[in-house]
Amino acid sequence: METVTVLGAGYVGLTTAACLAHLGHRVHAIDADAARVHRLQAGEIDLLEPGLPEMVRAHQQTGHLSFSTDPGSRIGGSDAVLLCLPTPARVDGSADLAAVRSWLPHLRRHLSPGRRIILKSTVPPGTQRQLVTVLDRPDIAMISNPEFLREGHAIHDWLNPDRIVIGADEPESTRYLSSLYTSLDAPVVETDPTSAELIKYAANTFLALKITYANTLAELCEHIGANITDVRTGIGHDPRIGNTYLDAGPGWGGPCLPKDVRALVSTGTRTTTDLGLLHALLETNAYHQRRIVTLVEQLLPRPLTGARVAVLGLAFKAATNDLRDSPALHIANLLAARRAHVTAYDPAIDASATPTAGQLTLTESATAAVAGADVVLVLTEWPEFAELPWHHLARDMRGDVVLDTRGKLDRTLLRGAGLHLRTLGEPFSEIAAARTA
């Protein structure tokens, strides 16, 4: 059993802390947000993450997991300190490492010789090397160990990783991490710290590229009369391509992909590497988000200004309440900026506690959002949207069109309710054609 400190108790930190306690270690997590820490101490978890509240409370009760805002003497007594701190994008797109750097003086002063710092935050290639220089403690190993969990599946992914990437200069570091993650069964990629850091960015950027490629194909399908679902299936059977991350949708977003692609572009700029492909990726993703607004406009029987648009889903994906860089929220705001009246509902978002601006109003139910709508726009793939009482909702709408950007609704069911369903990547809509006729 190791005694470890986790710095940062957000999605990655809290999951890491709970899972390490689950593996039998004694874990203390430190977070700068006093309100969050007080809630955690009371066993309240504000992240929507299946299994996480139960796991946190279980290990709090055994005394193997605790929380505070104050490092006190704990770091001195830790075998390892895991950094799960935020690395948000600066205005210029580069990663802001202030939270990570802020801990270096404390770690330099208090860590005992032979201990380890494990860097789980996503940091630009070359960061570990810089931090080692600033830390100036040759007796402490700093291991790059990027995290690949997906929100909504955090516990599962942490305990069942596809791979464990270990970027270290000393073989002893790999042995240590293998013992810390003792029962995790995954291929281990041993490499140098800079390559480990790049693996994380390269993975996220590749996922973003796949999504954008799918959206580009979907738009092409609309113009040439092809079927994106069949095209996706047809290419996805090729194991060299794979069938995930190929769904057309409202573009990629969330707390990781946008900031990580931008940080990699920034690394390219800093090192004068031509990353034109990634510039195009950012621009094309923004275009596909704007395109949803254009499609809504085409489907409306009246001008967008003053029209009533019901938005279903605001979180960046289903099974999370995370709104950071959410394409759904972005598109809802774009519609509101065009002076549409937008009423939005998300099952995981507390309407009364979430501030909005302009003509965007959050509601507590899908029924309230859809009442009086000229068009319904589905932006997050919550399974419950397919189960809504569409017959009842249709009666309360002013219009009769639903644009499902996630392709999860049942066409027959909606047709039975008297609604026209429009999805991305289907041939240019007869609905819009009829409107302009």
Ligand X SMILES: NC(=O)c1ccc[n+]([C@@H]2O[C@H](COP(=O)([O-])OP(=O)(O)OC[C@H]3O[C@@H](n4cnc5c(N)ncnc54)[C@H](O)[C@@H]3O)[C@@H](O)[C@H]2O)c1
Contact residues: ligand X, CB under 6 A: 7-13, 30-33, 36, 84-87, 99, 102, 121-122, 147, 149, 151, 255-256
Nearer to ligand X, 129 or 324 (CB): 324
Q: How far apart, in Å, are the Cα atoms of 92 and each of 77, 88, 175?
A: 39, 11, 38
Tell me the closest approach of the beta carbon of residue 8 to ligand X, in angstroms: 3
d(CA 231, CA 225): 12
Question: Who's near 279: CB < 8 A, 6+ residues apart?
Answer: 265
68/178 with CB nearer ligand X: 68
Sign of CA dihedral 294, 298, 303, 306: negative
Q: Smallest distance, Å, CB 212 to ligand X?
A: 19
Rg (CA), the chain: 24
On whether the CB atoms of residues 268 and 274 are closer than 8 A, the answer is yes
Cβ contacts of 353 within 8 Å, gap of 6 or more: none
Q: Whole-number minimum distance, CB 235 to ligand X, in Å?
A: 27
Distance CA 395, CA 117 (A): 59
Between CA 186 and CA 165 the distance in angstroms is 10
Kind and range of the H or E run holding 344:
strand 341-345
Instruction: Report which residue type is found at 383.
Output: P
Nearer to ligand X, 250 or 255 (CB): 255
Query: What count of residues does the chain have?
Result: 437
In angstroms, the CA 390 to CA 372 distance is 14
CB of 11 to ligand X, least distance (A): 4
CB of 255 to ligand X, least distance (A): 5
CA distance 4 to 253: 32
Question: Which residue sits closest to ligand X, CB atoms considered?
Answer: 10
Nearer to ligand X, 85 or 311 (CB): 85
In terms of Cα–Cα distance, which of 64, 102, 67 is closest to 83?
A: 102
CB of 264 to ligand X, least distance (A): 12
- C-beta of 159 vs 419, nearer to ligand X: 159
| Cβ burial 281-292 (10 Å sphere, 16+ → b, else e) | bbebbeebbebb
CB of residue 429 vs ligand X: minimum separation in angstroms?
A: 35
Task: Give the residue numbers annotated as catalytic, written as ranges.
Answer: 256
Nearer to ligand X, 47 or 342 (CB): 47
Between 122 and 285, whose beta carbon lies closer to ligand X?
122
CA distances from 14 to 193, 208, 317, 366, 406 (A): 24, 26, 20, 31, 30
Pairing of strands 80-83, 26-30: unpaired
